[in-house]
Structure 1
């Protein structure tokens, strides 16, 4: 029944840029206002807030705004709120809100992710980089090998596909080429210039087989989703999108190198919680902090077999806007900017509502899958237009 479900109603997004001077809290408020306006809700109707990972005092560029700050800034009368990093990745904040509204703890929950990494790097006096006097916690697995960047451990998974399954760089390139082609049609995308195969193949390597164009880039922006209870959707004026299923996994809390990234187990879990099948999906918005992560999600979600991801995307036609599985239609993080997971859910709603403009996929899409996380943390949402 409708009242037992959770829905994404209003969605909003601030300016997306690099080295913005607008305060990150103000960017967040910009996105909230857009989401509220679309939903036709007032701030008085909001009774919950959910975010990931909360305000990170030691890494303000990574996460400068917490749930409590938004509650205070807007005077929200919150019956329920949450914000922390100990969940199954960024979209885990949406799963938490889904659970809250289904349990009756809230009716309308603002979910948000605000990033300010590009601006922070340009203003180190205001946003100092964290310094460690000793190696501890999860850094013990990476720092001794000078492998702080996630590119290094993601590359190990990608190289296994090269060695074991024969994935080529030309195949992997299709994630970046597709993202950049779609970003050119997105007026809010960070990078709107086209990318050619020659440019991709000649780019400097970061960690083999990943090159510069396989990586997203630091971005300043805020993205907001409002999650509403089924018995509250008569209060909104936008088209509600049902959360048909959700799943999340955490593998190896030490962040040591697990055999398989958590997306494989998460994808399997997702389909066990719904009658839908991969063949029912009209568009996939898959996390691409590094291009190979999107390949792994394609396999983990069952769009192709394990080891078949490279062949599945070869040539790019299958994942193009007019292909059988349009992928990252807003440009993904590689093209549209590092919105850190929330951009994929935002775009899923845009596509299901037919609001994509020049990048809108054909037909009448009814089902989208969106994901976040690429490593030991993973979350997947299946969104349906009923």
Structure 2
């Protein structure tokens, strides 16, 4: 199968310092990650001719958006053929997908993609980055059906679907607990993780509720940090030391955008994106060695496990129960770096960095998945979602 994805590779990856309240600007973190990614690809800033951010600057809570492409262009003194920000699109990975298309079109040879935020520092001033702000025009769009009833953040919206899922499938929270427990185990082996202390089922069940049944340990960790990658044209990246190949993208969406309009608790944009992914490859879920699945909330990982076909609908909790099948040496090593639940919220780009690290064999020995050849990366939840299938 000849596909546009095969015209591009991920030639370099980079990451800044990651942590809580680092006290550094988003631009400083982005420059650190970008320089690391460019050097990792064996390139110079002068080689970069495309630039894309997710999501780009727009009115948002402090620390959320990261610097605009214009600001990073000036900081790195880039000369570009193309640039954009990807706020709209199939989830957070829309920026990577757009970079692949820019390379395939011939407009660019090397596109720098980045995500940066300083949400932990932004929240230190008393703000909540997870609460959707009200602009001068008041409440409009789908929020007019949510905010008057106290549903002010994604935690509330996810909780509605999660509660219904528990009721319809007979799943227990004690089963779901194994997602954050497993990721904390993986985080303990990752020097870049934020939270590394062991977690037990009892601690999970006794944690304070954020929006019932979503508890504290179901929520990802606001962090300061940045991830960057270089997407390069295959024909000009022959000397790339350790390329990661792009096998397929999943970007389709057909579901309604309102949380209250879905036919089932898992009937999110992820459903369409996952189905689309498998139409663009001859590989199957059984071929995947590493899964890096979005965990803004634990329930979203449950959704991705099911819609990507790693288990049947309604059976994800059985799949993760006990943690053996999703462990580093299990059937499907899941969120091997600790994920956003333990290593910090970078909106899927930490997952992308980890998947590339695993495929290149660069993880610490204790958490390196043996003979990792294929990885799936999924990002987004609710009305937004996209996924990538990567290979060595």
* Other-structure match for 1:96: 98
The 1:361/1:58 distance shift into structure 2, 3 A limit, reads: closer
Equivalent position of 1:142 in the other structure: 146
What are the Cα deviations for residues 187-212 of structure 1, in whole angstroms up to 9, with x where unaligned?
11111111111111111122222211
Find out whether 1:324 has 2:337 as its counterpart: no
The answer on 1:204 being equivalent to 2:238 is no
Q: 2:185 maps to which residue?
A: 181
- Rounded to whole Å, the distance in 1 between the matches of 2:160 and 2:366 is 33
Counterparts of residues 241-280 of structure 1 (less than 5 Å): 241-250=244-253, 251-254=255-258, 256-259=260-263, 260-280=267-287
Paired position in structure 2 for 1:28: 30
Is the alpha carbon distance of 1:263 and 1:218 closer, same or farther for their aligned partners in structure 2, counting shifts above 3 Å? same
Q: Which residue of 1 aligns with 2:166?
A: 162
Q: Is the aligned partner of 1:216 residue 2:223? A: no
CA contact (8 A) 1:32 1:224 kept: yes
Please give the alpha-carbon distance, in whole angstroms, between the structure 2 residues aligned to 1:2 and 1:117: 37
Structure 1 residue 139: Cα displacement: 2.4
Residues 132-179 of structure 1 deviation map (CA, whole Å, 9 limit, x = unaligned): 452113422321111111111112222222111111111110111011
Return the offset for 1:235: 4.2
Find 1:86's aligned residue among 81, 85, 88.
Answer: 88
Give the structure 2 partner of residue 304 of structure 1.
311
In 2, Cα distance between equivalents of 1:38 and 1:283:
22
| Equivalent of residue 281 in structure 1, options 267, 270, 288 | 288
- Aligned 8 A contact 2:19 2:194 in 1: yes
Q: What is the aligned length?
A: 382
Query: How well do the aligned residues superpose, as a CA RMSD in angstroms?
Result: 1.9
Q: Distance in 2 between matches of 1:278 and 1:135?
A: 42
Question: How far apart, CA to CA, are the structure 1 residues paired with 2:325 and 2:26?
Answer: 38
Alpha-carbon distance in 2 for matches of 1:58, 1:312: 37
State the shift of 1:228 in Å.
0.8
State whether residues 319 and 325 of structure 1, in contact with CA within 8 Å, keep that contact through their aligned partners in structure 2.
Answer: yes
Deviation of 1:84 after TM superposition, in Å, equals 3.1
CA distance in structure 2 between the aligned counterparts of 1:30 and 1:67, rounded to whole angstroms: 15
251-260 or 344-353, larger mean C-alpha shift: 251-260
Other structure's SS at 2:183 match: helix
Instruction: Report SS of the residue matched to 1:78.
Output: coil
Kindly indicate whether residue 373 of structure 2 is the aligned counterpart of residue 371 of structure 1.
no
Distance in 2 between residues matched to 1:140 and 1:46, nearest whole Å: 43
Aligned partners of 2:228, 2:220: CA distance in 1, in Å?
A: 20
Task: Give ranges in structure 1 of 5+ residues lacking alignment.
Answer: none
1:124 CA drift (Å): 6.4
CA distance in 2, matches of 1:123, 1:325: 40
**Cα distance in 2, alignment partners of residues 64 and 244 from structure 1:** 29
- The alpha-carbon deviation at position 289 of structure 1 amounts to 0.3
How many Å separate the matches in 1 of 2:50 and 2:361? 28
Residue 225 (str. 1) matches residue 229 (str. 2): yes
Q: CA deviation at 1:218?
A: 1.1
Give the TM-score normalised by the residue count of structure 1.
Answer: 0.94
Contact 2:374 2:391 (C-alpha < 8 Å) held by counterparts: yes
Cα pair 2:86 2:94 within 8 Å, conserved: no
Q: Give the TM-score taking structure 2 as reference length.
A: 0.93
**Does structure 2 retain, via aligned residues, the 8 Å contact 1:141–1:256?**
no
Q: Which runs of 5+ in 2 are unaligned?
A: none
CA distance in 2, matches of 1:163, 1:337: 30
Counterpart pick for 1:290 among 297, 300, 314: 297
1:255 positional shift:
5.4
Contact 2:296/2:341, CA 8 A, preserved across alignment: yes
Measured after TM superposition, the shift of residue 86 of structure 1 is 1.1
Please say which of residues 96-105 and 253-262 is displaced more in the overlay: 253-262
| Partner deviation per Cα, 1:87-126 (whole Å, 9 max, x = no partner) | 111111001101111111111111100111111122469x
Counterpart in the other structure of 1:354: 361
Distance 2:236 2:366 in 1: 31
Partners of 2:164 and 2:258 lie apart in 1 by 21
**d(CA) in 2 for partners of 1:256, 1:53:** 25
**In 1, Cα distance between the equivalents of 2:81 and 2:260?**
37
Q: Does 1:41 align with 2:43?
A: yes
